[in-house]
Structure 1
């Protein structure tokens, strides 16, 4: 372990961890040092994960727990399969820390070693040069063209911007038939796509943007399809819904969230709730904007007697003022000073009336408020007195009935006792009837519960099978792609080979091999079908055995509570069941061992029957014969 610890400490120091010189073992690591070492390694392995992690533990314990959980999650995201949590960092254990650090050190990138192992060809050298140039350009700080100095002009050339300006992405309308439309809509869509919709190359404003727009469109569709596959495999299958139902449910949830956000945004602010001056005007303006109505002056509202009186007085004053003006216009002998004096007197009188009205309204408001308070208090007292009266009336009725029963107390007591006894008998009768109905209901409930549990198990099993099928489909598609690549490579090699050689013997042998393979496949399918049938029978018998034992166990267990001999038989039954299980397991183990022995014997027979040396000699003889034929044909061609 000392050598392993020394290697780990050396690797951590190279990463940038400040490990003291006196520390020579993982056992001496403190929690802060462990956190720093793990964060440094994670930043080197996966910079996107390590950039948000702190290199030291915070003073608060809750923050320490959060840091520990985030570190554990980051290690799991990298690929650590062991048990890990916040306790790994805060309450360190030497074996766990050593295994975690070994995993992280092994995951550290080894660029120099990989570069030395790679072949030094022209393509590799070109790729390295491209990568170095891209890294150098990414390391340079970007500046706008207006802020660049002559020194920066050498590193950041405007030609790149000119090249990128030529490629603008524009939305494209691709011809496609959407599902769920009617015949008429589908026909109209086809007519529009055939007659009106321009081709893809003519939709962008610049011809240079066609390729970029198509690539952007295809990338968006591909990313959307991949996101849908990931979401369906992770969440859609667990919801046990069809894809259409899952999309509808997601759409309704999104609609609800949008409605809630709009409602919360439309709610009035606290200032408007307290009656601010600006809130009413803003609200009226908003309502006018939404309703497209006239201003508030033209809206007919229901007013009080005071508002009607005030409006009437003001209209009278306004109506009298034009008369004076007309009279003054008709009499030119009056002077302007008299007119102004009269107007001033009228203004002062109107202001006095207004002040009187204001004081009157204030006093009336105060009296109304006092009256409302008194009215509320009176109503509360009235409610309380009504409740008290109702209680007293009930007591009076009870006492009245009791007084009426006092003259014939003995007979009334006997009647009451008889009534109580009849009620008790009725309760007992109802309880017995309920027990009779309750037993079959409980049995039915248990049966339905068992069916529900079986259905849940079956659904979970089918869900796991669907996931495994998805994984198998993915693996098979990857294998198919690899095989297609190999097929293309073999086809090119076949085309490059000379075509003048006679291949009738080889084709005959290939046909024979294919026929033998077909026969073997048929035999294999027969064996697989027989194996599946046997497995089904074994499963059915096992299920039947378990059900029989469960029923027997339940029946015997009920009688075992009352009888000692039945209790012994119950013990013997349990021992018999356990021995049978052991016997079945032994038989299964024996079958597996026999199958392994048979497989090993078949492998030995196949190895003995292969005759590898003889086959190699034959292949060499055939190769020599083919070379001789080729040389003879080449000599004939030269002579001809």
Structure 2
């Protein structure tokens, strides 16, 4: 029984009910912990139900809160008898039934949440399918999708590389030593220059390694381009022999696709490394700017503190003037922004209207794409919340004490099921025997009634003529009445024994509840004192 109680309490904890420390079985539940568990469980079952998780000091408030919780539990489907005394003076049996009911209801509520999540997943899946259909329509407009996609991938990678080098060129000049090796070195030189400047902050060793890595990548790119050029020349030569042109073209196409994928991977690596270096450089620049600003502020403060010729009020007045000037500048900039933003908004609106008039399908697809992006953001935030909750529950699971293994639980459940089946078989056998005895008793009673009716009629007919028969008839009626009285007494005795057994079971249950008479007397005295205090206040108000 202790293991079953521990399983119930662990189930409550896993369903989101916080248990106080030191509670490992139902016997450890006192009125305060029982009220806290019930209040939390009712709030999880129904969000509209909200009760305090602790008992107040005033006895009247305690009775009121316990009565409200009892009625709420009755409202969510509890079939047993429940009132305030189950909370203020709990017994082990009543508390076990109540906790088991709460676990069942919380499990049903969690199943309902899972069904809602399945519906959300279905909506997300349908929106993803719609997006895939839109993208497929745009791709299928080309005659040769495979070559088109390969060309698009390579072109996109080169454009990204070009865009990245242009961004780097705006921040730092190109070193002359990289402009000798051809157009590829010229494109990659700004990236190496930026990386050189960023890595130089951390040390010369990392600079040398990064330069060597760049040189290796440049050599690989050169080799790939030379091989592709040679392959291109070879393909032109093969065109003169039409017999092998198709096979050679397929081989050349596979080779070009392989090399284009390699070039794309190297471009992506260079692009990502350049991004990392730019981010690190920008962060270092911002950090240096913040430090410089703090240094200037501290220098100004020190100058103000050491300047004895001017009072502090002049500096405060100067700062107030600067703040007011800054506010005026912000207001002016806001007005200028409004003046510039309004024609831009009108132009944007007119362009959207013209685009909608020319190609309404593109605008509809854009709206759908925006809706999908908004739903994606909501889903990502929901996933983040679920991940946080998962990490929290994982930490709580690690902190919880280790319980018995799943195999032991399965073994216990199988034993309980086996015993239950055995008890069901015994009950069925007893009911069958009782039914057979009842049928036999009814048949015997019917036979006795028929026999008595025949004998009574025979003796009564002879009793009119003979005095002996009359005496026999009196004895027969007296015997019949005596046996009826005996039968009634046996039934009454059996009924009394059953009532005695029921009363004994009730007495045993009352004895197991371990009611503390001193505690009851203390609560009664507190209620009397509160009543007297309330009566005194009422009397003072009337006077």
TM range (shorter): under 0.3
TM-score (normalizing by structure 2): 0.23
TM-score by length of 1: 0.20
Which has the higher relative contact order, 1 or 2, with Cα contacts under 8 A spaced 6 or more apart? Answer: 2
